[in-house]
Amino acid sequence: MSPSILISLVVVIAAFALFFYFSFKGVNLFLTVFACVTLVSLCTADGLTAIFTSFLPSVGTMFQQFFLLYTIGGAFGFCLMESGLGSAMAVHMIRIFGEKWIAVALFVITCLMMAAGVASYQYAILAIALPVLKRLNMSRKVALAAMSAGAGSVAYGTLVGMPNALNIAPTTYLGTTTMAGPVISLVCTAFSVVFIVGYLMLLTNRLKARGEGFVTYDDDPKVDQDENALPPAWKGYLCVAAIIGLSLLFQGFGIAAIQATTYA
């Protein structure tokens, strides 16, 4: 490895470490990004001017490419939750898995929400899950761990065909589709699911063994929807399947992944 490549790698790793450190410390996101960009820019041949010659044009290009995808996806997710379909799917999943498997149910629900583009899934899922956790006297750490695993693993990371930005971004530069690398994707997904489910069950048992139960807070989200008044859950599942299915169908016709998902 040449010295220039090694230095570049070290600087990029240092910038990532700085970003995570500032983020965990609660520093303003804009200031955090600016500090990391400045660090990387100072190590380039152009110096600080690289912010204008490299960073900003790249950010502008990414914003232009993904603007419609994020906007329409966010609107779809909002409609899914406002219509009650998101809550209907969550309630249905909890019934399927049973209350004792609440952690696995929340993991699956979050994966479905992420696949549908629902960014504000936390509020809806917590409002439904907290009464169940209270009945079981189970720590809310179980719900937080399950939702974190569902949001950042399968649906938004490893599973092939998912219509999200992380899966679509490489297609623009590699000329592939969201179905690229199906074997390694399914292997990683299977490993992720087994590991996450195992960890969630281990966490649940450890919290019970420590006697750590449910704690109520004044600002806990309230259930403001009657379960009997919710629409049929199958309509929500159909919506999620339609987004994924139509995206893959349009890509099959040769449409670029980002455009196909936007159309879907």
Spell out the long-range contacts of 140-144 with Cβ–Cβ below 8 A and sequence spacing 24 or more: 140/214, 140/215, 141/203, 141/207, 141/212, 142/102, 142/103, 142/106, 142/200, 142/203, 142/204, 142/207, 143/102, 143/103, 143/106
If we measure between CA atoms, which residue out of 68, 146, 67, 66 comes closest to residue 114? 146
Contact by Cβ (8 Å): 172, 258 = yes
The structure tokens listed for 46 are 């152009």
pLDDT at 1 over 60: no
Return all residues near 9 (Cβ < 8 A) that are at least 6 apart.
1
| Range name among 1-15, 73-87, 151-165, 190-204 with the lowest pLDDT average | 1-15
What's 25's DSSP letter? T
* pLDDT digits 0-9 by tens, 167-226: 787 887 788 888 888 899 899 889 989 999 999 999 888 888 888 888 777 766 666 666
Rounded to 5 degrees, what are φ and ψ at 13? -60, -40
Round to whole Å and give the CA distance between 214 and 220: 12
DSSP 8-state class, residue 181? S
| Total-model pTM | 0.71
- Percent of residues in the chain assigned helix, strand, coil, to nearest 5: 75, 0, 25
Is-contact 206 228, C-beta < 8 A?
Answer: no
Q: What is the pLDDT of residue 121?
A: 63
Mean pLDDT of the 126-143 span: 81
Chain mean pLDDT for the chain: 81
The CA-atom distances, in angstroms, between 219 and each of 91, 127, 143, 215 are 22, 11, 16, 12
- Average the pLDDT over 1-5 and give the result: 63
Q: Tens digits of per-residue pLDDT, 225-251?
A: 667 778 888 988 888 888 888 888 988
Question: Which pLDDT value is given to residue 199?
Answer: 92
Q: How many helices (H) and strands (E) does the chain have?
A: 12, 0
pLDDT, position 122: 65
